[in-house]
Structure 1
């Protein structure tokens, strides 16, 4: 395939498989002025061959809508890609060795940054102690976020750079920092990142997303996560350079601030609670491995006030809610807001709930009633689910089996938008689809087609764009070209109906994602008719 220029051109793609509901057996597509102009058969494509700027021979490749990752932290993702990544460290000792090597190789960094440790997966079963980190980092400031980014371990030198951290809630000697103490040291650590380092990290994150067939990301920023300069710099970078689209959310209860920063919602990681791994998700009943119910940051009344303010301002509200008590607070708050401004206005605003892991039949019904979008991360189940996973350790096996009930959400009509929460879990769109289709709890599985839709069209619907995320005439020309094996129609009970080429099905096929099969490889990603990634030959 030849590479097109950065300017939108009229292009005919032919000789492949085009995943389009307009024609389940399409093998060709025409793109014009940044939009899909036509999809159809190879024979009909001849009529367009002389009127286009470029003809792309797909050579049997698959064309799909580009993925949308509906929950990303771009700078943190880029820093993880270019910095110290502990997500695959096999032990505490190995993690400390990596810290030593990283510190030795980065003598000029004002603060050393790392991410991804998970003591639950280490044989030592504990996080590093501060004196161990002080030694490994050579006495330098070091910030290491846990994999869920809701707690961190740091060196004494970083604490010394964070006035008052010792007295803040969430500081406990010998334990990872949580709550206010964590937010303070995180701000100090990220504040040491120079504008040039930040831009480098953002470029790295967006380029990596493009290489995986991701055409859009939803940046979930906020004052406790990044900074205003980080957020506006990312939006500016995305507007000025060719790459994936960036849709921005700012997690603060200040509607005017969110709008002034260029956000489409005062939403994203507006924390109602924390995370299960850090024992800060807010539960109705105590943790199985701790004598408390986690942390609550917002109550139902706070949620109601924010939903009202956003609805009246024409912005999306959104909340980070993981524990069942936190999700209940969101539903009760949104319901109270609907009583004040009217349920139709609340539903029309498409307010969001990020993560929404611990749901009950009552809160699932509340999502459907109030038109709330569930912005969820199937990779969480792949990483932490199962009888022996972190969920079971924190909650007990019975409660753990209720988490991430994607099938129940879809059955009742709750809109799903899939994401990664990168760098919590990696950008990995086909892996995300596989994780939803082969959920560790079988009754929560959904079809590959439904999961694919949640990771493509679902992200667009979550921002109010119902016409996008699908390859039909008039839709934005955001697509990816894949090297993939046989296309099938895959059901959520592991059975594969290989009738994607049977005219009676009327259903376009997708790659076989049965665990153990290779995932598709992205050959090209196009956003708005502009090529943003081409895989090098060989």
Structure 2
């Protein structure tokens, strides 16, 4: 822990089983470690890394361990940390109706119809992932179409960004006064308060057994991808206290990824009682670009308004000051340039009240932070704000003909997600997926950052990998994890991968690598079109939480 940092989880958290007691030697592979750039072996003892080194030196340990693992040339890396996940929703998408790959409105309606037929006993049908911007019809499903597809049953269907939804008449009628609520416009997707109300009604119908099944499914899937920890972003407008505490209890009782819970609420005592590490995460300052609810300085290119602001700078300042005084992380969801500006203004005001050093030490965070400017980038660095970002957003919606260009125009769209400029300025990055908004896919996330659709925003594979491993731990206030060095937690993954490559130190995108070994081997080729690494095993605290079937 860095001296002066707020002590967030400075021990193994209650949301993972106790560390393993066995001693294991791994040898005969490639170990990605700054302790030895060419390490081929590693010793794990009592849930921590005990030693990293060469194959020859490993012989001295072979007789004194409980198990020797032959890596057979595999790559060992720190396990990934996904810094922004909605675990239950991600699990429901994996087990239920997922429209993220529907190529048209017609196909989406066919999938809704088939799902309704498969799930006759569900009290409410749940689905996620429609994106009219990618459909030839260029419109959301109408309520009457959904009524016919479901036979009139309750259905909640969230847009890909989870900031708007379409529902059936039966579900809409369950929410008293919904038609007079902000965000309700007849014939259009629900946003703002109307969306929050129908989402609450829909998820209230999910049984505890369904919820636990979804959480377990999501965590097992994460483990199968080499993810060793997730930051759960819950809150009163996103899930429920029962969902949040149930997830933390499940993660503490069963082997799997560590779960660090953020509760997006200005009620600090409630956040503490729920076991949250911060009153942060999706505490909304604005919405999302796809739903026209991100808060902008200038109007949207395809709508005559500037989006929606939920918190102003004064509210931000009050929350940041209160969290700093209480020893909790604060954090906000902010996507549009006006929303990010409100966060910066508010955090600066809080710094004037409680002191800049305390603000920086607390490592407050901002989720998404897409429409950054040179001024707000400099402010993030000055204030010590961590940017919890999702490179897959650019992969999915960036580019000259993507959704961002539709919403903002090509010129503004090209400024989004400027990872290189943020790293150059010293802004800490933590990578995540925002699952189910985008898939849990850590190597795909690293590749998306390294091959950003706007070339000047690209960063090195090594810098991206660091943001998706060590960056997530640093966002929690811990500097001793997310890296394979003696004393660090034994959270690692084993990979079958293509030949490891050298990234030339003079490569333009390597300049902002946070890894000083940027000229040495150690990470796979992630060139688009190349196969991504396959996870063979994931270990958390020395416990195997995933092992691929060797058959």
TM-score, with length taken from structure 2: 0.94
Counterpart residue number, 1:234: 247
CA RMSD of aligned residues (A): 1.6
| Offset, 1:496 | 10
Instruction: Please list every run of at least 4 consecutive aligned residues from structure 1 whose deviation after the TM superposition is greater than 6 angstroms.
Output: 491-497
| Offset, 1:167 | 1.2
Q: How does 1:404-419 map to 2 (within 5 A)?
A: 404-419=417-432
Q: Per the alignment, do residues 356 and 152 of structure 1 end up closer, same or farther by CA in structure 2, a change over 3 Å counting?
A: same
Q: Give the counterpart of 2:346 among 333, 339, 342.
A: 333
How big is each residue's C-alpha offset from its partner over 1:96-140, in whole Å with a ceiling of 9 and x where there is no partner? Answer: 000000000100000000000000000000000000000001000
Name the SS of the counterpart of 1:238 in structure 2: helix
Structure 1: segments with no counterpart, 5+ residues: 498-503
Counterpart residue number, 1:63: 76
Name the SS of the counterpart of 1:202 in structure 2: helix
**1:448·1:491 contact (CA, 8 Å) conserved in 2?**
no
Q: Give the counterpart of 1:153 among 166, 169, 185.
A: 166
Q: Give the counterpart of 1:443 among 456, 466, 469.
A: 456
Cα distance in 2, alignment partners of residues 505 and 106 from structure 1: 51
Tell whether 2:120 aligns with 1:120. Answer: no
Q: Give the counterpart of 2:54 among 29, 37, 41.
A: 41
Q: Give the counterpart of 2:410 among 394, 397, 417.
A: 397
Counterpart residue number, 2:323: 310
Tell whether 2:355 aligns with 1:342. Answer: yes
Tell whether 2:33 aligns with 1:20. Answer: yes
Cα distance in 2, alignment partners of residues 479 and 45 from structure 1: 19
Q: How does 1:228-307 map to 2 (within 5 A)?
A: 228-307=241-320
Cα distance in 2, alignment partners of residues 307 and 490 from structure 1: 40
**1:66·1:480 contact (CA, 8 Å) conserved in 2?**
yes
Counterpart residue number, 2:496: 483
Cα distance in 2, alignment partners of residues 505 and 462 from structure 1: 23
Structure 2: segments with no counterpart, 5+ residues: 1-17, 511-516
Tell whether 2:511 aligns with 1:461. Answer: no
How big is each residue's C-alpha offset from its partner over 1:334-356, in whole Å with a ceiling of 9 and x where there is no partner? Answer: 00000000000000000000000
Cα distance in 2, alignment partners of residues 491 and 347 from structure 1: 34
Q: Per the alignment, do residues 496 and 463 of structure 1 end up closer, same or farther by CA in structure 2, a change over 3 Å counting?
A: closer
Tell whether 2:20 aligns with 1:10. Answer: no
Tell whether 2:42 aligns with 1:29. Answer: yes
Cα distance in 2, alignment partners of residues 376 and 337 from structure 1: 23
Q: How does 1:27-106 map to 2 (within 5 A)?
A: 27-106=40-119
**1:19·1:509 contact (CA, 8 Å) conserved in 2?**
yes
**2:430·2:475 contact (CA, 8 Å) conserved in 1?**
yes
Cα distance in 1, alignment partners of residues 427 and 187 from structure 2: 42
| Offset, 1:12 | 0.2
Name the SS of the counterpart of 2:394 in structure 1: helix
**2:503·2:520 contact (CA, 8 Å) conserved in 1?**
no
Q: Give the counterpart of 1:192 among 194, 205, 217.
A: 205
Name the SS of the counterpart of 2:502 in structure 1: strand
Counterpart residue number, 1:500: none
Count of residue pairs the alignment pairs up = 529
Cα distance in 2, alignment partners of residues 339 and 507 from structure 1: 44
Q: Which moved more, 1:209-218 or 1:159-168?
A: 159-168
**1:436·1:446 contact (CA, 8 Å) conserved in 2?**
yes
Cα distance in 1, alignment partners of residues 194 and 287 from structure 2: 14
Name the SS of the counterpart of 1:317 in structure 2: strand
Q: Per the alignment, do residues 115 and 493 of structure 1 end up closer, same or farther by CA in structure 2, a change over 3 Å counting?
A: farther
TM-score, with length taken from structure 1: 0.97
Counterpart residue number, 1:452: 465
Counterpart residue number, 2:534: 521
Cα distance in 2, alignment partners of residues 250 and 166 from structure 1: 29
Name the SS of the counterpart of 1:368 in structure 2: helix
Q: Per the alignment, do residues 472 and 6 of structure 1 end up closer, same or farther by CA in structure 2, a change over 3 Å counting?
A: closer
Counterpart residue number, 1:211: 224
| Offset, 1:505 | 7.1
